[in-house]
Amino acid sequence: MAVASNKPAAQPAVVRSISAEHGAEVPDFSREQELRALRQMLLIRRFEEKAGQLYGMGLIGGFCHLYIGQEAVVVGMQMAIKEGDEVITGYRDHGHMLACGMDPKGVMAELTGRRGGYSKGKGGSMHMFSVEKGFFGGHGIVGAQVPLGTGLAFANRYRGNDNVSLTYFGDGAANQGQVYESFNMAKLWKLPVIYVIENNQYGMGTSVARASATTNLASRGRSHDIPGEQVDGMDVRAVKAAADEAVKWCRDGNGPMILEMLTYRYRGHSMSDPAKYRSKEEVDKVRTEHDPIEQVRSRLLKKGFANEDALKKIDAEVRAIVNEAAEFATNDAEPDPAELFTDVYK
Amino acid sequence: MPIQVLMPALSPTMEKGNLAKWHKKEGDAVKSGDVIAEIETDKATMEVEAVDEGTLGKILVPEGTNDVAVNTPIAMILAEGEDAAALKDGKAARKITDPAVRERVEESEPRVEETKAVVAPPAVPSPPEPTEALEPDVPEGTAMVTMTVREALRDAMAEEMRRDKDVFVMGEEVAEYQGAYKVTQGLLQEFGAMRVIDTPITEHGFTGLGIGAAFAGLKPIVEFMTFNFAMQAMDQLINSAAKTHYMSGGQIGASVVFRGPNGPAARVAAQHSQDFTAWYSHIPGLKVIAPYTAADAKGLLKSAIRDPNPVIFLENEILYGQSFPVPKLDDHLVPIGKARLARSGNDVTIVSWSMGMTYALKAADELAKDNISAEVIDLRTLKPMDTATIVASVKKTGRVVTVEEGWRQSGVGAEIAASVTEQAFDWLDAPITRVTGKDVPMPYAANLEKLALPSVAEVIAAAKAVCYR
């Protein structure tokens, strides 16, 4: 378990820092794993594209943060955990919910503020939960989920089970004070929590290098003796491999671990962000050279695990699921006005 | 001339203590810095060091004496060259008003910053003996035991922890130190370190951690050493604890109690002396409790721990040491959201809670001497507020005075006034009048502090004014 070295900052790092370091060591996926990853990532991407479309039509309101480009992170992590493990994240959360197995209809209906949404239409994009699927939100305040996820891990330790809490946050949240308060307690009490830092290179419009005195976020646990590792977050196999290692570390009672996922969001911070702070070339380069879905697709073809027709069929199936979700979310009724006053207290 | 050694105040709110032990005998030489005695307060055992040099001439209070009032002369020190005959004058020229005192801890190194003795009397009045309270929560004929608010709170936690293994306590100094205010005394010994957890000084973090544990179904009791420090955790309290049940459409709740002392303390100035009751009572999704009596402290804390919602449980440092009768029941529960009629009356309704009750009840005693019969309502719970009890009383008396230590603007009194105006306007015979803390940061100086707080005199004046007397 290597503690990340504190190397000088990788520039808008995704392009350079990713595959160079880890590419060679990444273990291969089986056919079944590749297909599962493809299906999951496609579902997220198509879902998010649809959400963007519905937002443009005025059917989704408020803030809407899309996960497009980062799919390999949550899908790879999810492939390494078991039932009973908890997942918690910030506001860019649609991908996490779908990866946890939540019903796309319920997620989309929450985005449109309908009664069939996971929070009965009262939470919206940033605040959805499914205890049944182990998903604890969906939190709108940058960094707030970090102590909460540490608390989920605390509960695991209190109960003496071997469950692990996956606590996701972004490169922006990595500068919040409560993150370090959490690191301290997690290490002090050896809590089974994996801090998954989704470094998509920009906290809203500010690049990591402009916001962080040290840009190797995997090393941010060093002062608390928490091991960390930088991972190519665009390669689902690399994510899964790192996650396997981290999950074992936690289940074995060693306390927390940090995984910094080097990833990239193709869209703006939210639907209303024109993303003028980065060049089109930068985005295009990642899309053409590192797209997490294309990587899987080309491996499937190259290894003869699937042909074009089979992949088209998967694509069509995923589109059908997403269309069904959108259909449901646009036709479902708004919440009953009486719901205004329910659920304030239990 | 001999120097008088006075019983030191070892905390801002200490009024008396026990003289546990003399380390020097009469006739012993005393150097500055020598430990001369041990004093027990309800919070800790402290060592008293000599400040002056000389000979311990006379011990005025023998060891083993309990309840020695602060500032009582406990010994005389003879300066060099003086002999015992000087003691016979009976008068001491100099009083030691600032003996150096340090807390005695088991460990070799001190764990808290040195406690400076403050001998000024507390600016806040001590509560009167509780009046014969109507106790609708308790079956008739229940035996009562006298205990302090501090003990009642501890017993409430211990009982609930015995009852439910998902209940645990966390906070700064709650375990090995036995509680900064000794409210968690003995819990570590009974329940062990897994359930009584010392946290780092990291309010934002451990509040969020507690809420996360509650999301997972545990029932944390999170102690804030004082609610002043909960300001560091405000985002977690409001955005995570209070709102998640609603935002999740009822899927995830946080059954968690945040407790600790709130409100003005004595002589600690603006950052450590303030009342947050109104702040929390503004937030949908939180329940807010602020008991006055030990019986209510116990019964409401037990109810709060069982409640599936986040509860802000506001205690009061000055009340911790006050004793009240507490029902001797296996399971004394007081319902959340129900006010207590502390005193019946016909002429004016005084509404208060927590420390405010000390002003309200004393004022009611004084008003009775002027033939003004005050009804005193102890709200106990601020959210949800038992407005019905207030309104019923107003329909009887036609007059309302609210008493709180919090600031005036947007205070709880303002909320009560608005509710009464909406619901009982036609019964009012006088404007609703608020007695509150003054709208200033709490000053340090004793006289200014006294002025900043509400007073019994202000409550009496307000009650007389609304009675047109």
In contact, B290 and B260? CB cutoff 8 Å:
no
Nearest residue in chain A measured CA to CA from B195: A158
Alpha carbon of A200: minimum distance to chain B alpha carbons (Å): 25
Query: Other C-beta atoms within 10 Å of A212: how many?
Result: 19
CB atoms under 10 Å from CB of A266, counted, come to: 18
Which of B168, B216, B285 has its CB closest to that of A344? Answer: B285
pLDDT at B391: 98
Last residue of a domain, one of B68, B101, B134: B101
Residue A336's Cα: distance from chain center in Å?
32
| pLDDT band, residue B362 (cuts 50/70/90) | very high
Domain end, chosen from B327, B359, B385, is at: B327
Q: With a cut of 90, say whether residue B46 has pLDDT above it.
A: no
In this structure, are residues A63 and A125 in contact, taking their beta carbons and an 8 Å threshold?
A: yes
Residue B356 maps to a domain:
yes
* Co-location of B244 and B382 in the same domain: no
CA distance A215 to chain B (A): 23
Beta strand B45-49 with B101-103 is: antiparallel
Judge if B386 and B285 occupy the same domain.
no
- Which SS3 state, helix, strand or coil, does residue A193 take? strand
Predicted confidence at residue B91, as pLDDT, reads: 52
| Smallest Cα distance from B283 to chain A, Å | 10
Classify residue A341: in a domain, yes or no.
no
Give contacts of A127 with chain B, Cβ < 8 Å. 244, 247-248
- Residues in chain A, overall count: 346
In a domain, B371, yes or no: yes
CB contact under 8 A, B208 and A88: no
Q: What angle do CA A248, A251, A256 make, to 5 degrees?
A: 85
Q: At B99, is the pLDDT very low, low, confident or very high (cuts 50, 70, 90)?
A: very low
Q: Are B222 and B192 in contact (CB under 8 A)?
A: no
CA distance A292 to A286: 10
- pLDDT tops 80 at residue B102: no
Q: Domain for residue A9, yes or no?
A: no
Do residues B396 and B437 share a domain?
Answer: yes
Question: With an 8 Å Cβ cutoff, is B102 touching chain A?
Answer: no
| pLDDT tops 50 at residue B446 | yes
Name the token pair of B377.
Answer: 């309502």
Q: Domain total for chain A?
A: 1
Residue B244 touches partner A, C-beta closer than 8 Å:
yes
Angle at the Cα of A199 (from A196 to A205), degrees rounded to 5? Answer: 140
Q: Is residue A346 part of a domain?
A: no
Q: Give the integer Cα–Cα distance in Å for B402 and B463.
A: 10
Give, for all 346 residues of chain A, the pLDDT tens digit: 444 444 433 444 554 444 445 445 799 999 999 999 999 999 999 999 999 999 999 999 999 999 999 999 999 999 999 999 999 999 999 999 999 999 999 999 999 999 999 999 999 999 999 999 999 999 999 999 999 999 999 999 999 999 999 999 999 999 999 999 999 999 999 999 999 999 999 999 999 999 999 999 999 999 999 999 999 999 999 999 999 999 999 999 999 999 999 999 999 999 889 899 999 999 999 999 999 999 999 999 999 999 999 999 999 999 999 999 999 999 999 999 999 999 999 9
Domain that holds residue A89: 30-329
Model pLDDT, residue A24: 56
The band of B110, judged by pLDDT with boundaries at 50, 70 and 90, is: very low
Domain membership flag for residue A18: no
**Contact (CB<8Å) B216/A88:** no
pLDDT digits (tens, 9 = 90+) for B177-189: 999 999 999 999 9
Q: Is A177 on the interface with B (CB under 8 A)?
A: yes
Q: What residues of chain A, 140 to 159, have a C-beta less than 8 Å from chain B?
A: 140-141, 144, 146-156, 158
Q: What is the pTM for the complete model shown? A: 0.88
Task: Provide the domain count of chain B.
Answer: 3
A254 contact B CB<8A? no
Six token digits for residue A251: 């289940």
Inter-CA distances, B164 with A211, B161, B196, B287, B300, Å: 46, 5, 14, 21, 17
Supply the pLDDT for residue A264.
96
Min Cα distance B188 → chain A (Å) is: 16
Please indicate if any CB of chain B lies within 8 Å of the CB of A185: yes
Instruction: Round to whole Å and give the CA distance between A162 and A192.
Output: 8
Across residues B38-47, what is the average pLDDT? 83
Nearest CA in chain B to A122: B247
| E strands in chain A | 86-89, 135-138, 165-170, 193-199, 202-203, 206-207, 228-232, 257-262
Chain B contacts in chain A segment 292-321 (CB below 8 A): none
Q: Do B250 and A343 touch (CB under 8 A)?
A: yes
- The domain boundary, picked from B101, B133, B161, lies at B101
What CATH code is carried by the domain that includes residue B309?
Answer: 3.40.50.970
Reply yes or no on whether the pLDDT at B121 is more than 60.
no
- Residue-number span of the structural domain to which B389 is assigned: 340-466
Q: Specify if B376 maps to a domain.
A: yes
Same domain, B291 and B193: yes
Work out the angle at residue B315's Cα, subtended by the Cα atoms of residues A146 and B290, and round it to the nearest 5 degrees: 100
Lowest mean per-residue pLDDT among A247-256, B127-136, B187-196: B127-136
pLDDT-based confidence at B313, cuts 50/70/90? very high
Residue A138 with chain B: CB contacts under 8 Å: 247
Establish if B252 touches chain A: CB-CB under 8 angstroms. Answer: yes
End-to-end CA distance of chain A: 44
B235 close contact with A: CB closer than 8 A: yes
Asked whether residue B139 is assigned to any structural domain, the reply reads no
Instruction: Examine residue A173 and state whether it is found in any structural domain, yes or no.
Output: yes
Exposure class string for B211-228: b at 16+ Cβ within 10 A, else e: bbbbbbebbbbbbbbbbb
**Looking at the domain assignment, is residue A115 inside a domain?**
yes
Amino acid at B225: M
What is the 8-class DSSP label of residue A130? B
Q: Are residues B298 and B259 in the same domain?
A: yes
Whether residues B96 and B198 fall in one domain: no
Same domain, B345 and B323: no
CA distance B58 to B76: 5
Positions of B annotated as catalytic residues are 203, 272
Asked if B302 and B371 sit in the same domain, the reply is no
Instruction: Report if residue A101 sits inside a domain.
Output: yes
Residue among B199, B213, B308 minimizing CB distance to A346: B308
Rounded CA separation B226/A222 (Å): 32
> What is the pLDDT at residue B136?
62
Domain harbouring A210, CATH code: 3.40.50.970
- Name the minimum distance, in Å, from the CA of B220 to any CA of chain A: 10
Do B169 and B197 form a contact (C-beta atoms < 8 A)? Answer: yes
Q: Any chain A CB within 8 A of the CB of B199?
A: yes
Based on the fold, state whether residues B346 and B250 are members of the same structural domain.
Answer: no
Long-range contacts of B243-246 (CB under 8 A, 24+ apart): B243/B285, B244/A127, B244/A129, B244/A137, B244/B211, B244/B215, B245/A343, B245/A344, B245/A345, B245/A346, B245/B285, B245/B309, B246/A122, B246/A343, B246/A344, B246/B284, B246/B285
> What pLDDT score was predicted for residue B116?
38
Task: Report yes or no: B209 at the A interface, CB cutoff 8 Å.
Answer: yes
In this structure, what CATH number is given to the domain that contains residue B426? 3.40.50.920
Q: What is the mean pLDDT of chain B?
A: 90
Residue at A339 is within a domain: no
| CA–CA dist A326, B2 (Å, integer) | 91
Q: Quick check: B165 pLDDT over 80? A: yes
Q: What CATH number is attached to the domain comprising B55?
A: 2.40.50.100
Residue B141: CB partners within 8 Å, gap ≥ 6? none
Mutate to test the interface with A, among B168, B203, B238, B251 (most CBs of A within 10 A): B251
Instruction: Say whether both B288 and B148 belong to one domain.
Output: yes
How far is the C-alpha of B309 from the C-alpha of A135, rounded, in Å?
Answer: 20
B241, B285 in Cβ contact below 8 A? yes
Residues of A in contact with B245 (CB under 8 A): 343-346
In this prediction, residue B318 carries a pLDDT of 95
Q: Which residues contact A164 (CB under 8 A, 6 or more apart)?
A: A81, A85, A86, A153, A156, A192, A193, A194, A247, A250, A251
What ipTM was assigned to the predicted interfaces of this complex?
0.92
Does B150 lie in the same domain as B89? no
Confidence of residue B88 (pLDDT cuts 50, 70, 90): low
Q: Helix/strand/coil (H, E, C) string of chain B?
A: CCEEEECCCCCCCCCEEEEEEECCCCCCEECCCCEEEEEECCCCEEEEECCCCEEEEEECCCCCEEEEECCCEEEEEECCCCCHHHHHHCCCCEEECCCCEEECCCCCCCCCCCCCCCCCCCCCCCCCCCCCCCCCCCCCCCCEEEEEHHHHHHHHHHHHHHHCCCEEEEECCCCCCCCCCCCCCCHHHHHCCCCEEECCCCHHHHHHHHHHHHHCCCEEEEECCCHHHHHHHHHHHHHHHHCHHHHCCCCCCCCCEEEEECECCCCCCHHHCECCHHHHHCCCCCEEECCCCHHHHHHHHHHHHHCCCCEEEEECCCCCCCEEEEECCCCCCCCCCCCEEEECCCCEEEEECCCHHHHHHHHHHHHHHCCCCEEEEECCEEECCCHHHHHHHHHHHCCEEEECCCCCCCCHHHHHHHHHHHHHHHHCCCCCEEECCCCCCCCCCHHHHHHHCCCHHHHHHHHHHHCCC
Nearest to B216 among A146, A155, A342 (CB): A155
Q: Which among B212, B214, B285 is the nearest to A150, CB-wise?
A: B212
The token pair that represents B70 in the structure block: 């602060």
Considering only CB atoms, A184 lies closest to which of B202, B218, B255, namely B202
